[in-house]
Structure 1
């Protein structure tokens, strides 16, 4: 009976196989990178050729955008491979890389292509015709290692690429989110590839990858629906800090037709300059403002009264009946300024008709007088003298009628006249959205849709825009109507959309969507009337002033019952040791949801230390230094009650974010220090805030309780 090979022999064989696999993948990566360089060179040549022709400006922009997308997908070009049971091997990457022969199988299959989907959905329980999934880890142009996962007869697990996933989750955090296309899980992939025809509301607890799913869904939709690239996609986040955190994800996925913003920054040229109480913020966030603002703007439209316009030294009166006709033609379905533009065109026509009618009446009188004169001359000269035909040197007909060309010229001159424009503007003035809203907010008597006490609170606010004013201002600007913005030559679609308040996007993604008020949801719908919207969030982490405790309450005003629900149930980020603390917190927050199931353990038990208030800053600094020492190369974050942030700022915490619970939402660090958890719980909606604070870490959680 042959002897068993020694452990050294087995180890050598495993090492040789691993080295061979790395060499194999290195060859594929080298080939793909070389082909990618050829494609980039071809695009540059096309850009140079097309740039000589002004009519090719649109094509040049498209080529430039494509060049940028391919360049940005250089790092990590290949991250996976699928080996099918029939022997077919496909490499999966950030972007597809085609062969010179376009009919041949691509060198690299785009991760969003239908054929790549088994990379995210195949498991040993459901191999989907695949024998093996391989994760390829690279750095720049070098393959570092591979991780093979048998899919036919392998271990039974509900995780996809468990080894690669857990290795990625254990990596140190850098302060910026990275792509997760190599480790997306099946429930995440299902949401990423879900139909985009209507609103999709995704509920997910801490660490379930909500933001990862939302951003990768953007990349998938832009790949799958070409028209979205022409309209751009809007990504709404809760704060500028959060947008900075996710800023590298979509460019790394090769996507550029994306505008990132917060609700506060959606109106170009308008910024938040003051804070306000939660009470006033809640009042201004209610959906009732939409109908109230509609009524307010409608009341500003002029009534059916006479309009006098001076033209070439003479006054012309347009009667109330004529004005009423023009108003009826201009009103239906139009904004204030769009209706005014249509009304102005009608006024130009009515004034033209009045001028023509007056001139023709004068000419008719002149003709009649001239005929009387001629009759007298004929009578005096007698029948013996023939005066012959009378010649008129006018381009008008004998009856005094103006020609069509003359009427058209008159109408053009009236339309271009500054005096006529001034008369119309004086009768129907242009309005500034800010002024209209400010006048309403300062007039308690005009806020009849609120209680007397609420109206006094709103009217008593100082000037300047608060966050809750932005949706109201947006609604007024929409009701008044847009000023057309010209396109800048060579401008990318995202840049133009960013400049244009009324831009209509192909899709909108909302992160931390549980924070939006009813009026903020109206802002979202305004920018995507088709309601092709993906909203991700955790209703149990809501901190905003409204009191929505279910998604049905939160989105009813915007979508009614026409929305689809999805849920992320697995927590990948937060370790099991921490998630075990959260169930009692959720109960105190009034939630009926179960916390997500954590799939990993960090091996580090959460700890708690009691300190007195006087020594708190020093204790925080000591704890942070200890955490930084244990998690060198990673990140540490501090979460504290809002009223303690000032004193902690003096603790000398260098390069360590010290944030309130709302500010920390959506962020993650290797280690998190929660300062004064009782103080966080005592804040408005504090149990929700504490739930947020406790779930920011990927490895270690510490708490400093103030005695």
Structure 2
């Protein structure tokens, strides 16, 4: 609606007052001292907390301090404020802490997202604000106290915010969260949430905002146990890195699966990786590790001074059998040493001595006990066990008996075994196996909450590794089965949750806010071939004129022309090409004077025109997307049609598809 001058001036005055109050809050935080701490360690911890507080109170001039307002109904609950401004963080003023802006995560702020004419929740009016470069320029009112919506069509301010150009990293959606998204964001900490989201439905944003909500609601608990965000690659993490700091959360770890498990140093056929990623490998690894525990052939003799104390071989066997397989391998070895030592102390007491716990520890560390342990329960590393498993046919046969057939065992064996575990070139699939062995040896530490994006692309063994890291916590699992592009991509979310060791409800988001309708409908032609069980996605935006399919005589020349046209319009431009052709396209664009940036797995994706290898496009978005060579992208890998579906759904404003020969048959239908 047109902004009334007097009302707009009053809202601008409230914005100025709120910014001044936030500045005073930050100055107060900067003036606090950690010198009150009792010791050096406490001082360092307090200083860290103060630094985080100061960073969280930073005012970003281009970011609206508040984006909405709620006015209470006269008959509403008296404990509600008369007027409530909703923003990215809490702002108060004066010694009594008069609230000027309420944090969007506060319980009372839920009404801004959930209230409607059918359930006003005690409020009569919702007001949305429009901003340009941090300046409040407009407002739009939505009455909540009558049966209609006080106007026709969707909110214009909301639509403009959704369609705002995407130049730069991903931004938060706190001003545009929809009711169905808000329910997921505010799910309580013990609950694991799984979101199947079609392209542009905001599933990644839901996961990040849930992390921010949980950190606000369970601050003390999660400050101890931690929150971890896992994404598919470094480029994706760089793209989303600004979202949580913009919401005042500056202490959240982000990682890829390679960061957690170790970067691969070798490669192997996709079929072998898929086999290693199979959940059955967990049984094989367990048998392989515990095969190192051997039956004792002799007893134990410990000499202390002039006395000798003996355990018979059958007693050692009984102690070993009682522990074998009932504990982790490393702790079992330590426990066996203590139990052997305890039996020696019993012998000492039977002779009238009075040994204490210190004597037991000494016996447990004695040479005879260590020698026996090395024979019966040897110390091994995950690398040693896996190297033996993949290079020793007999050992693999014994460990895989009843689990893998002969052809599968033959596929796992190295054709040219590494000389030792130190010289082995471990693949990405091997890294997950090593992590499983490490957990079988010593327990993996758990965090409070895990946000896992693009979860459909992880193997069962990788999911088990991540599940261990939230074994005593919960998770937000995000992805799209239609975008599964790995050899081991999941076929169902029930399967993913099982491997994670989590129980949760699966919510499907099908209404898109980012991808124009014409673009989404075009890409959805591939759905029956990549994920026939999923509901066809819909878009909030019709997107008339957003899609153009061109047949060109030369893809490189056509890409230059399409990129130049896209650069004449506002927003970011992404040229997505087969991986093998990225360098050639980048060189041609450079020669044409268009100054492209080539996206790599480790880059931050900065620049207005980017050349994007198709395998790195997942999770990213650009205002204008040019796809050169869809047939080559589809033919480049076994699940190439799923990769093409990903590539075709990265556009926010326009998509231009360039092809020289025929389009893939599935896309032409």
Normalised-by-shorter TM-score class: 0.7 to 0.9
Segments of 5+ residues of structure 1 without an aligned counterpart are 1-9, 361-400, 483-501
Deviations 1:208-227 (A, max 9, x none): 10100000001111212231
- Shift in Å, 1:415: 4.6
The 3 A distance-change label for structure 1 pair 351 and 176 is: same
Distance 2:440 2:586 in 1: 44
> Which range is displaced more, 429-438 or 90-99?
90-99
Deviations 1:391-434 (A, max 9, x none): xxxxxxxxxx44x3x65554454355577546644543221111
Contact preservation (8 Å) 1:176, 1:248: yes
Does 1:450 pair with 2:389? Answer: no
The 3 A distance-change label for structure 1 pair 575 and 252 is: same
Select 1:470's aligned residue among 389, 409, 431: 431
- Shift in Å, 1:619: 2.8
1:209 aligns with 202
Contact preservation (8 Å) 1:228, 1:506: yes
The 3 A distance-change label for structure 1 pair 677 and 594 is: same
- Shift in Å, 1:52: 5.0
Matches within 5 A, 1:600-611: 600-611=541-552
Does 1:568 pair with 2:528? Answer: no
Matches within 5 A, 1:243-642: 243-267=237-261, 270-308=262-300, 311=303, 317-328=310-321, 330-331=323-324, 333-353=326-346, 401-402=352-353, 404=354, 410-415=359-364, 417=366, 421=370, 424-425=373-374, 427-445=376-394, 446=396, 447-448=400-401, 449-460=403-414, 463-481=424-442, 502-530=444-472, 532-546=474-488, 548-558=490-500, 562-612=503-553, 615-631=554-570, 634-642=571-579
The 3 A distance-change label for structure 1 pair 641 and 37 is: closer
- Shift in Å, 1:22: 4.2
Select 2:164's aligned residue among 163, 171, 185: 171
The 3 A distance-change label for structure 1 pair 555 and 621 is: same
Contact preservation (8 Å) 2:546, 2:653: no
- Shift in Å, 1:337: 0.3
Contact preservation (8 Å) 1:606, 1:700: yes
1:108 aligns with 101
The 3 A distance-change label for structure 1 pair 452 and 48 is: same
Residue 260 of structure 1 aligns to a residue in which SS? strand
Contact preservation (8 Å) 1:51, 1:60: no
Rg larger for = 1
Matches within 5 A, 1:54-133: 54=41, 61-71=48-58, 76-86=64-74, 88-101=82-95, 106-124=99-117, 126-133=119-126
Does 1:676 pair with 2:629? Answer: yes
Distance 1:697 1:91 in 2: 33
Contact preservation (8 Å) 1:82, 1:132: yes
The 3 A distance-change label for structure 1 pair 407 and 593 is: closer
Residue 35 of structure 2 aligns to a residue in which SS? helix
Residue 580 of structure 1 aligns to a residue in which SS? helix
- Shift in Å, 1:271: 1.6
2:667 aligns with none
Residue 545 of structure 1 aligns to a residue in which SS? coil
The 3 A distance-change label for structure 1 pair 135 and 156 is: closer
Distance 2:370 2:465 in 1: 33
The 3 A distance-change label for structure 1 pair 151 and 661 is: farther
Deviations 1:53-75 (A, max 9, x none): 65566555544444443347895
Number of residues of Structure 1 aligned to a counterpart in Structure 2: 620
Deviations 1:149-204 (A, max 9, x none): 22235446785xx3232222332222311111112111111110123434321111
Contact preservation (8 Å) 2:162, 2:176: no
The 3 A distance-change label for structure 1 pair 55 and 24 is: closer
Residue 552 of structure 1 aligns to a residue in which SS? helix
Distance 2:430 2:377 in 1: 26
The 3 A distance-change label for structure 1 pair 82 and 15 is: closer
Distance 1:126 1:411 in 2: 69
Contact preservation (8 Å) 2:300, 2:369: no
Residue 255 of structure 1 aligns to a residue in which SS? coil
1:236 aligns with 230
Deviations 1:209-267 (A, max 9, x none): 01000000011112122312210112111111111111111122222442211222213
Segments of 5+ residues of structure 2 without an aligned counterpart are 75-80, 417-423, 591-595, 598-608, 662-669
Distance 2:270 2:572 in 1: 32
- TM-score, normalising length: structure 1: 0.80
1:663 aligns with 616
- Shift in Å, 1:351: 3.9
Deviations 1:542-592 (A, max 9, x none): 1121364332344444458x4302122221111122122133221233423
Deviations 1:40-87 (A, max 9, x none): 146x23x23226565566555544444443347895443332222238
Contact preservation (8 Å) 1:73, 1:253: no
Contact preservation (8 Å) 1:575, 1:698: yes
The 3 A distance-change label for structure 1 pair 303 and 60 is: farther
> Which range is displaced more, 22-31 or 185-194?
22-31
Distance 1:648 1:70 in 2: 43
The 3 A distance-change label for structure 1 pair 240 and 246 is: same
